[in-house]
Amino acid sequence: MCRLTAMPIPDDAGEVESTAPDLAGHLPSSRTPRSTPMSDARSPAPLAIAQKLDELFKPWNRSDAPGMTVGIRHQGKLIYRHGFGLASIEHAVANTPGMRMRIGSTSKHFCCLGIMLLAEDGRVDIDKPVGHYLPELGAICGRPTLLQLMHHTGGLHDPAALTLFQYGGQYPQLARGGHLQLMPLLEAVNFAPGSRFAYSNSGYHLLSVLIERLSGQEWGEFMDQRVFAPLGMSATALLRSDLDVCPNMASLHVRMPDGQWRRGIYPSDELLGSGGMISTVDDMLVWTEHLRSKQKRVGSAATWSRMLEPQTFPNGSGHCYALGLHIERHRGVKIIQHAGATLGSMHQMLIAPEHGLDIIVMCNRMDAPAPALALKALEAVLEGEGLGPEVIPPAAADHPALQGRWYSRASKTLVEITAYRAHPDRPECLALSTFNQLVGVLRRADMGLAQPDGPFSTLEIRQPPEGSIPPATIDVHICGEPECFEHLPDVPPAAESLSAELCGRYRQPGYPKEMEIALRDGKLVLDLLPLHGYGYWELQPYSREVLGCGLFHSEPQDPLPRKAMLVVQRQDDKVTGLLLSFDRLRGVPFARVQGHRE
């Protein structure tokens, strides 16, 4: 829970000389204050760097929109500490660097550290199944080890997504304890534990519950006692619910499709180590300094060696994800990073340890690209300091035979590769989508092309097809394991041609709620049949067996893109059911309960 003890007014309060906007609606940024609780020496960034950073963040400094706070330290000097935009549109309060904001999934490596501290105490074995410590999970959800959960290789379904179907396309406010109650109801997994990578908030929630159970403390209390307080991170805490009131915290804002702003409220009363922390740029810079330091005050050398060790799959292939942290390179520079997002917030923590560079970008709006801004800030600071040339992705024109939709019958996985213009002055590159959701851009690899660090998995096409005509099949390596993907038709079947066999009601076994496929205005739709409002996908036929769940229409409006895929199941050439898959929830079965009625 967020500590509600009295907090001093931040020393940057009232620091802005004027909050009057200029003619373009921009606010003057809140400047570095006269004093600060941070201990490191101050040195303004060289003028050229400061100007680049000011220009980078200027578009977000508006008097009519939320924004962000930014803190940058380089070689022990705090060179940039500014607030941009509004902390609250409702109250016309400007963002200042002392504002608390959500850090979302950046919380995950703190959760891993909590597990490793319990391991140091001899109270937990990270190689044991989570069911050993939480026996109520049952045989299926209890199988993954703690290490697999930390690596996102546990394969668990996301129970929160199940509520999406049962509530007709809307996520209910998940009750405290509800996540653990739902887990035993899951009767399948995304994949065998340890065999693949799929980002999983569920796994981190279970790790958090385990910490609470073994420590006898709430997650936030344990982390405060063992991590935050020893480091003097007094503004850092757990905020379980966005319905809770917390002092000195920026409001969360979500921009809706019509351009209006709404409050960001994550649909859960038990956000824990998967994404529940709040902090400030000052506290996070204290943390990044500790993370880089060779003299750790929290955690043993062995713990930190494990924390920063990228994972390896049983077949020997690797992935950049360590324990709640990505270990990567950007333009030749080693970086340690993790982004975070909740409804109404974006966050990025980026560290370049070999250059002594720490960057924190905290946003109280969901549409701000914190990870991209942090990389641009890194480039501005490290230009002339060993920064390598920009790596240009391979051109789409060089790989015409690779473009199209590809489907694996073995894992029921859909991959789409399309030409995409990421930069107006460069050739189109190859965008990769999985499960009908865009995940990244294909890049050159040691063997062929790859998307090495995406949320789906390490995906490699080691022998891209040559020529201009797509072959019938290609081999795609996912986490080092080859799978045969067949090319789906360039001209898919028309919706009307599939309607007679697909239209009707479907129900998930064990649940009473039904959904319906219908033909409306010449389009197939998947209607989740809510009790009020509406919620349905437009379906995009890709073949007789595979359909994409494209645009999601709902009332109340959903601020997030929610795309998925359907696989049609048949017996004796008659439709018997569907498998619905997101990246984080794969192969959910729905049995046919009623055919199409004229």
**SS3 annotation, 3-38:** CCCCCCCCCCCCCCCCCCCCCCCECCCECCCCCCCC
- On whether the CB atoms of residues 334 and 356 are closer than 8 A, the answer is no
- On whether the CB atoms of residues 147 and 132 are closer than 8 A, the answer is no
Task: Kindly provide the residue ranges of all beta strands, DSSP E only, lying in 213-325, ordered along the sequence.
Answer: 237-238, 253-255, 261-263, 277-279
DSSP letters for 320-361? SB-SS-EEEEETTEEEEEEEEEETTEEEEEEEEGGGTEEEEE
- On whether the CB atoms of residues 456 and 433 are closer than 8 A, the answer is no
Q: Is the peptide bond before 556 cis (omega within 30 degrees of 0)?
A: yes
Helices (H), 123-168: 138-141, 146-150, 159-166
Question: Is the whole model's pTM more than 0.75, yes or no?
Answer: yes
Residue 558's pLDDT is what?
Answer: 78
Structure tokens at 425: 């002055």
Domain with CATH 2.40.128.50 in the chain: 495-595
DSSP secondary structure code for residue 252 in this structure: P
Domain with CATH 3.40.710.10 in the chain: 104-320
Q: Is 257 helix (H, G, I), strand (E, B) or coil?
A: coil
Identify the CA nearest to 278 among candidates 299, 247, 257. 247
Contacts of 210 (CB under 8 A, 6+ apart): 115, 124, 130, 133, 134, 146
Residue 2's pLDDT is what?
Answer: 61
Residue 219's pLDDT is what?
Answer: 98
Structure tokens at 375: 């990389």
Question: 562-570: which pairs have CB atoms within 8 A and are 24 or more residues apart?
Answer: 562/537, 563/435, 563/436, 563/437, 564/435, 564/436, 564/437, 564/537, 565/414, 565/435, 565/436, 566/526, 566/539, 567/412, 568/502, 568/544
- Asked: is 495-595 a CATH 2.60.40.1290 domain? The reply is no
Would you give the distance in Å from CA 118 to the centre of its chain? 26
Looking only at Cα atoms, what is the longest distance across the chain? 77
- ∠35-36-40 over CA atoms, to 5°? 110
Structure tokens at 162: 């199940």
Residue 453's pLDDT is what?
Answer: 60
CA 346/CA 352 separation, integer angstroms: 20
State the CB neighbour count (10 A cutoff) for residue 65: 20
The domain made up of 104-320 has a fold known as Beta-lactamase (3.40.710)
Residue 423's pLDDT is what?
Answer: 86
State the CB neighbour count (10 A cutoff) for residue 389: 7
Would you give the distance in Å from CA 517 to the centre of its chain? 30
Full pLDDT tens readout for the chain, 598 residues? 565 443 333 334 333 333 333 433 445 444 333 233 333 445 667 888 999 999 999 999 999 999 999 999 999 999 999 999 999 999 999 999 999 999 999 999 999 999 999 999 999 999 999 999 999 999 999 999 999 999 999 999 988 777 888 888 888 888 999 988 888 888 889 999 999 999 999 999 999 999 999 999 999 999 999 999 999 999 999 999 999 999 999 999 999 888 899 999 999 999 999 999 999 999 999 999 999 999 999 999 999 999 999 999 999 888 999 999 999 999 999 999 999 999 999 999 999 999 999 999 999 999 999 999 999 999 999 998 889 999 899 999 999 999 999 999 999 999 999 999 988 889 999 999 999 999 899 999 888 999 876 555 689 999 999 999 999 999 999 999 999 999 999 999 999 999 999 999 999 888 888 999 999 999 999 999 999 999 999 999 999 999 999 999 998 887 777 899 999 999 999 999 999 998 888 999 999 996 544 4
CA 51/CA 55 separation, integer angstroms: 6
Residue type, 31: R
Residue 511's pLDDT is what?
Answer: 82
Helix (H) or strand (E) holding 535: strand 534-541
* φ, ψ of residue 159 in degrees (nearest 5): -65, -25
Residue 381's pLDDT is what?
Answer: 97
**Class level of CATH domain 396-487:** mainly beta
Residue 1's pLDDT is what?
Answer: 54
